[in-house]
Amino acid sequence: MGKNYFTEEERKKLEENPYVEKVSLKAITYTETFKEHFAKEKALEKGPTQIFRDADFDVTVLGKDRIKTFSRRIKTMSHRLEGYTDLRSESSGRPPIKERTQEEEIAYLKHKVALQEQQIEALKKTNFIHREAKRASHKKNSNSSKT
């Protein structure tokens, strides 16, 4: 299933709508006002397509899938503490590395070494178990060939 791209005319028409913040070739960013309006109307048992029509959107341009996923997204947004705000700009990806004091760094490194020592011991034990199992299977095989 591919993305439905907007033509230049469709993009211009969508950008004229007061409920649209931004339109790209593939996606629409709606205003917080529209998201809140949509949630209120949905609570009044109005259908998603009808809400878009009432807000002067051309539902044939948007398509059923876009409307359905928007409705689903609004439902999840309504349960969040942040509400309908767009959090994508706030999440910058990888968290910044925290500067540590020397004491914190030493404690962190000691903890890291202790974990690595535990991992090494576990690997030694599994290696030993595998070697013992191999020896035992060789002994069984060698006894059966002598009889």
In this structure, what token pair is assigned to residue 125?
């034990």
Q: Bigger pLDDT: 95 or 62?
A: 62
pTM score, two decimals? 0.56
Average pLDDT, the chain: 86
pLDDT the model gives residue 114: 97
Query: For residue range 79-113, what is the model confidence (pLDDT) as tens digits?
Result: 877 777 776 666 666 766 778 899 999 999 999 99
Helix axis angle for 32-43 and 64-79, nearest 10°, is 90
The pLDDT confidence band at residue 144, using thresholds 50, 70 and 90, is low
CA 55, CA 82: separation in Å to the nearest integer? 24
